């Protein structure tokens, strides 16, 4: 076996360290930004608006993020993206409106995502892609857990210290990016013509969506991450109502329970699912919606933790194999960077729509528990419909 294609190669370790540190900073910054809005007496509906400012960059930059990731060594793309995240955190520290500053971090994240996932298919062989994705998701989930916990804790007790810590973490991630080998670009651009790149993106999207496996993967992961993003913000409103706890640490810790569950689900997926047995993930995806509905009725902290662990486990078992399937199909057809950028577009449109539903319900003053049930029901019906379509297509 080529040692360069090992799961423990220097390149993989550098990618994991960089991703871990950057993801930790991302999640600590989210709860810091929420605390800044609360400190400034912003209306409640502005808190989920943070996610809208973050994901809009993914949608606007979708035609350019994939080509950008494929035209340079992906480690250098990750370095540039972490630099942009650092600027966003620094702007928040300097007093820029948290919504605008978090949007700047979104610009860096939009450039970062195609590179961090696309590089996996360049570092490991196809038969190890699910395991590589599981390692990536596992390390990311630990980072999400630590980032959420540390961000919520620091935001409760030392808000400026939280911002300094986040900015430092982005710098550390950039240093790890420098340790990633300079792999040859997979699809160098000969010229930068925005209109031509938009046309190329549309054509690549059409080609990818004509592939049944790629289409299934994109729709499936979009539904899950749209729901997961909304659930994170729902927790901030749900905890005071259901558990009568008013700090930021508790919803941050509860989001960490989801992260632990996803890590366990990712590990189980690596053990029990490969690209040939991908349909085994479908029941778990359907059950995510049912588990969200059950969670909405929780009235005790430990019951809530248990349900969130279940939601995370089911989500990790469902989403990680679908992610690997898309990378394999994308790498074989339109390049991995393009494929992940297209996936990001659909996932973030899903987030935008689900967060818009949440914001609308919040502005209409619908209680948070019925709102949570509504989101769970949407996930249950949508992924159930996708599973029926998948099995019918293959039947």
CATH code assigned at 111 = 1.20.1250.20
**Domain span holding position 39:** 3-181+191-394
Local confidence band at 87 (pLDDT 50, 70, 90 cut-offs): very high
**pTM, entire model:** 0.79
Local confidence band at 304 (pLDDT 50, 70, 90 cut-offs): very high
Q: Using one digit for the tens of pLDDT, what is the confidence trace for 229-287?
A: 899 889 988 999 999 988 888 898 898 888 889 888 988 888 888 778 888 889 999 99
**What pLDDT, on a 0 to 100 scale, did the predictor assign at position 3?**
45
Q: Is residue 293 part of a domain?
A: yes
Which of 127-136, 286-295, 332-341 shows the lowest mean pLDDT across its residues? 332-341
**What pLDDT, on a 0 to 100 scale, did the predictor assign at position 214?**
85
Q: Is residue 285 part of a domain?
A: yes
Q: Is residue 186 part of a domain?
A: no
Q: How many domains does the chain have?
A: 1
226 has a pLDDT exceeding 80: yes
**What pLDDT, on a 0 to 100 scale, did the predictor assign at position 315?**
92
185 has a pLDDT exceeding 70: no
Which of 40-49, 56-65, 69-78, 121-130 shows the lowest mean pLDDT across its residues? 121-130
Mean pLDDT of 22-32: 91
Q: Is residue 271 part of a domain?
A: yes
**What pLDDT, on a 0 to 100 scale, did the predictor assign at position 143?**
86
Q: Is residue 124 part of a domain?
A: yes
**What pLDDT, on a 0 to 100 scale, did the predictor assign at position 372?**
93
Local confidence band at 186 (pLDDT 50, 70, 90 cut-offs): low
Instruction: Give the N- to C-terminal CA distance of the chain in Å, as an integer.
Output: 37
**What pLDDT, on a 0 to 100 scale, did the predictor assign at position 2?**
45
């Amino acid at each position: 076996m080529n040692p360069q294609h090992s799961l423990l190669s220097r390149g993989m370790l550098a990618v994991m360290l960089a991703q871990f540190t950057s993801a930790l900073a991302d999640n600590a910054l989210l709860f810091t930004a929420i605390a800044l809005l609360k400190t400034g007496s912003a209306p409640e509906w502005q808190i989920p608006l943070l996610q809208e400012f973050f994901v809009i960059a993914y949608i606007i930059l979708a035609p350019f993020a994939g080509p950008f990731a494929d035209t340079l060594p992906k480690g250098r793309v990750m370095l540039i993206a972490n630099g942009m995240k650092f600027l966003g955190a620094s702007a928040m520290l300097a007093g820029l409106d948290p919504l605008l500053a978090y949007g700047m971090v979104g610009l860096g994240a939009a450039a970062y995502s195609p590179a961090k996932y696309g590089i996996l298919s360049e570092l490991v062989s196809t038969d190890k892609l699910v395991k590589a994705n599981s390692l990536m998701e596992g390390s990311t989930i630990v980072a999400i857990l630590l980032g959420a916990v540390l961000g919520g804790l620091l935001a409760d007790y030392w808000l400026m210290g939280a911002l300094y810590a986040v900015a430092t973490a982005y710098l550390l991630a950039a240093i790890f990016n420098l340790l990633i080998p300079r792999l040859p670009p997979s699809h160098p651009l000969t010229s930068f013509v925005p209109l031509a790149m938009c046309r190329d993106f549309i054509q690549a999207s059409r080609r990818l969506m004509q592939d049944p496996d790629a289409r299934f993967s994109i729709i499936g992961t979009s539904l899950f991450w749209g729901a997961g993003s909304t659930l994170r913000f729902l927790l901030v409103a749900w905890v005071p109502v259901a558990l009568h706890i008013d700090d930021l640490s508790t919803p941050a810790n509860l989001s960490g329970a989801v992260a632990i569950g996803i890590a366990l689900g990712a590990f189980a997926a690596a053990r029990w699912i490969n690209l040939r047995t991908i349909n085994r993930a479908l029941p778990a995806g359907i059950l995510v919606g049912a588990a969200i509905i059950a969670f909405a009725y929780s009235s005790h902290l430990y019951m809530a933790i248990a349900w969130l662990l279940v939601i995370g486990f089911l989500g990790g078992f469902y989403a990680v194999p679908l992610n690997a399937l898309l990378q394999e199909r994308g790498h074989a057809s339109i390049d991995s960077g393009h494929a992940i950028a297209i996936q990001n577009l659909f996932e973030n449109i899903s987030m935008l729509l689900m967060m818009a539903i949440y914001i609308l319900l919040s502005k209409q003053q619908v209680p948070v528990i019925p709102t949570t049930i509504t989101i769970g029901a949407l996930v249950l019906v949508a992924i159930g419909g996708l599973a029926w379509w998948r099995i019918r297509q293959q039947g």
